[in-house]
Structure formats: C-alpha cells, structure tokens
Amino acid sequence: MPEDPKNKNSELKPGLSRRGFLSSVGAGAVVAVSLKEGEPARAQEIEATGETATVELSINGSKRKVLVEPRWSLAYVLREVLGLTGTKIGCERGECGACTVLIDGRPHYSCIMLAVEAEGREITTIEGLMQGDKLGPVQQAFLEEDGFQCGFCTPGQIMAVEGLLRRSPTPDIGRIRAGVSGNLCRCGAYKNIFNAAEKASRLKKEGGA
C-alpha cells in the first residue's frame, strides 16, 4: 500500500515540526562539541529510586543486615556492599560461573540471584571455606594441583567443586566433569581442575571434612 503523505511526520511528537526537530538536534550537537573541546559539564546528581529494603543475610555463618535496592544482585551486594571480593563477576548473565557461591550447600550463580531472594538461606562464599588462616581442602587441592592459570574463574571453580563434594564425597571423573560443567575456564586448565577435585576429595576424607 502506498505511503500516506499525511503520515510522513507521524514519528514526531504532536506540535513539533520537522524544522523544530532538526533545530533541537543541531543545538544538542553544538553542546556536545563545546563539552568535547573542554567546557566543564555541571555535575549530575544521581537520583535515588526511593525503593530500599533491609535484608538479613546469613553469610559464612554470620548474620548480616544490609540495606539493599530490590534490583541488586547477590553478587553485587557481596562484593560492593559487604567487601567479599572473592566472588568474581564475569558475564553477569549466568553463563560463566565466576560468581558461583553455595546457597544451602548447593552451587548457584550469584549474578542472576537477587540479594532479597537470598534472605533466610545459608550463603557460603570462598572466604567461608578458610579454616582460620589455613586454606580449606578444596582450596589447598587447587593450589597443589595448579588448578588455575589467570585465576579469575578459580573462586567459582572451587565453589562448584566444594558443592559437588558436599553432595558426593567420592565422585568419579564423570561426576566431576558434570559438577564443574557450569564453570568456564578461558585458560583451558580443565585437566588440572579435575585433578584438583579428585585430590580435594581425598583431603576432605583424610581431614574428616
């Protein structure tokens, strides 16, 4: 059907002519150029949404009351609010596994879980695997078996293995592969990660963990 000439300017707001629209765009371009050439911009205040909630999170055996916005992910709150930076943020869409923590003993991507959803549940981060100043069995096994290269994915890999061993203390290689399949290692250190998981199983058994 031929285009109706009356609708040519239908995408413009009522009362705004094409000439007026182009004039406003031109004025914006002048402002952008002047700022680029060094004219200082006035500071912009960040407007608060006004929507906050107090949640009580159980993290590594301690209760923490935190004021959060409902939209904040658990990963964001752990890192930016509580300073538990062992939890890494990678893809932020539940694909890479760098942000893996344990929720009630099972691995979860904390980047796609809201902090408010975690209230009333037991959260364990990689910091919670430490035994005082001593590494936990899974951490120690990754160190001894060189289960990392760049190290960015390592906290998530460790938490995935920890969750696996809590469910299956003596997994075979097939269970280990499945247990860490949701965690990506861009360096390709999978063979050493599998070896570390097998060693962690032995260390946990020897230590009674």
Q: What are phi and psi of 140, to 5 degrees?
A: -65, -40
Tell the burial category of 166 from Cβ atoms under 10 Å away from its Cβ (0-12, 13-18, 19+).
middle
pLDDT confidence bin for 55, thresholds 50/70/90: very high
> Which CA distances in Å does 52 have to 59, 80, 115, 204?
20, 16, 12, 41
Q: Are strands 100-103 and 53-59 parallel, antiparallel or unpaired?
A: unpaired
pLDDT confidence bin for 153, thresholds 50/70/90: very high
Please provide the CATH number assigned to the domain covering 51-126.
Answer: 3.10.20.30
Could you say which of 1.10.150.120, 3.40.50.720, 3.40.50.880, 2.10.77.10 is the CATH number of the domain covering 130-209?
Answer: 1.10.150.120
Q: Where do the structural domains in the chain lie, given as residue ranges?
A: 51-126, 130-209
* Average pLDDT score, the chain: 84
Question: What average pLDDT does this structure show over 160-185?
Answer: 97
Q: Where are the beta strands (DSSP E) in 95-209?
A: 100-103, 106-109, 122-124
Q: Where are the beta strands (DSSP E) in the chain?
A: 53-59, 62-68, 100-103, 106-109, 122-124
Question: What average pLDDT does this structure show over 69-84?
Answer: 97
Nearest to 97 by CA among 160, 22, 55: 160
